[in-house]
Chains A and B, each alone.
Chain A
Amino acid sequence: MAFRSATSTAPSALFPWPTQSVVGVVVLVAALVFSRVIGASTAVLAPLWLLGMVTGFTLQRSRFCFASAFRDLFLFGQSRILNGILVGLAITTLGFGLLMYDEVPFPQFGALPSEAHILPVGLSTVFGGVLFGVGMVLAGGCSSGSLYRVGEGYVASGVAVIGMIVGLAVLAYQWNWWWDTIIQHEPKVWLAEALPGGYGAAVALTLVGIFIVFLAALWWETRNGFAMPAINKPEAEPPDLTLRGRLSTLWQRVFVDGWSPIVGGAVLGITALLMYLAAQPWGVTGELSRWGQNATDSLSIGAPVLKGLDAIGGCAARSGEGGIFTATFAITVSLVVGALVAALFAGEFKLRFPRQRRRYGQALVGGIAMGYSSGLAIGCTIGAFFSAVPSLALSGWVFGGSLAGGAWLGVKILRRIP
């Protein structure tokens, strides 16, 4: 009956992995100082940077991975991480509802909350979602997942991020075609406006939708014969009730042992809410897209002026921001730093080169697919899903469903790779 925590080898040491913890403190202090630097010109960048660090820290601690949330439904028939996402979505739905109500109290008059991720919904959402779903399964992590794993030292995840930047840059050349032919004709459906009951009905329907997904995943688990019995708790060691002992236990729980996906989802939900309160909802694609464009521009092979970006909002509008230290920089680069700090405190940082060479190819191809599709769908698992569903946007649900379809397809492909 022995289930022991994977990290219980040094339970009594206050700093179980001294070198890494010391480096972690140094990185943390440097990152905190940097929040002052980045906030000097534009004050809001400081809280965004700090909140971004919290997202990275939380992703690493709870092993929160949108790719595995969808993939594991089909690969292992289980929904442990998906449930964490659902908890996060329930929190953000209530909070986003209040924040949007504050800006647009009467949704029926047609005004949309300016920063909310209410995106065009149609073919681009479905195609983008399916392609992204395939890409994230092949790459072994979505955009936020690959970024946090870069912070832990996964080299192949870095390749996936580079692939994403490439994919976004490629899409930039074809964007105007997509815009003229498809995206400009797609409606932005905001449930608060579309439903007769306004915010109340939209929030209620979204929460019901989240609950239905929970029930469906539960049914799926049992159908696959995957009934999760209560996991055996670690056998109680005699508790060390001294102050030192209790501090050590606390340190161990927060910084060394992993958090459950439910805790991770709740913390991410609250962090995303604070981010929207400070400036804008959480998104990752905008910054990666900016890097791709800066790279092609600096080589004088830049894409033509992209049409319609201001009309779209979400990650697309932000990809055009100039300068180095923008809001997207503050919430994206900080994610990697936060994950690095978390990995160092847990003694889990290590440069990891995959044993199988083809892992690099898989990461690159998956990354390019993710980049192209997130450009098309105007966001990834974060911007077009985790920030769009609570924005009461229909696009979030369509993208989420398409992600699941893509993940299913991705698992089929993954199983065929020897």
Chain B
Amino acid sequence: MTDGADQVQIDARGLECPVPTQQAVEAMRRAREAGTAETLVVQLDDAICAADIPFQANALGYDADSERADDQQWTITLRPRNAATTQDQ
């Protein structure tokens, strides 16, 4: 979690709801509080969390881009919408 890092990887494969969402939300909250603007990449295979994370991200000021592979794997890329404004919230 260093400032200026391009991407933070979260490997939540094999973890079940709500753990992957928890990990993603905590990472986004930490980044928001620290005012960093890195992109988070979450890998997971829990369909419930794959559906939930974009909603959580949206509310935390992140854009979520979700890619599903054929074998129940999701890669969700979370990009801060605007680092400056999210800090003000």
Contacts and interface: CB of A to CB of B under 8 A. Distances in A.
Given A63-B52, A225-B89, A232-B63, A75 B58 contact: no
Interface string A1-15: 111111111000000
A75 B49 CA distance: 14
Contacts, number: 84
B contacts with A: majority SS: mixed
Interface in A209-249: 225-229, 231-232
Interface in B59-89: 59-60, 63-70, 72, 74, 89
Interface residues of A, number: 40
A113 B52 CA distance: 40
A184 B68 CA distance: 54
Given A3-B63, A9-B68, A359-B16, A65 B48 contact: yes
Contact of B16 (A71, A78, A352): A352
Given A9-B67, A76-B25, A348-B47, A3 B58 contact: yes
Nearest to A80: B55
A354 B20 CA distance: 12
A152 B49 CA distance: 14
Contacts of B39: none
Interface string A47-73: 000000000000000010100100110
B45 interface: yes
A262 interface: no
Interface string A250-287: 00000000100000000000000000000000000000
A75 B22 contact: yes
Which of B13, B18, B58, B60 has the largest number of chain A CB atoms within 10 A?
A: B18
Interface string B9-50: 000011111100110010000000000000000000111101
B47 to A, nearest CB: 5
Nearest to B65: A2
A78 B59 contact: yes
A185 interface: no
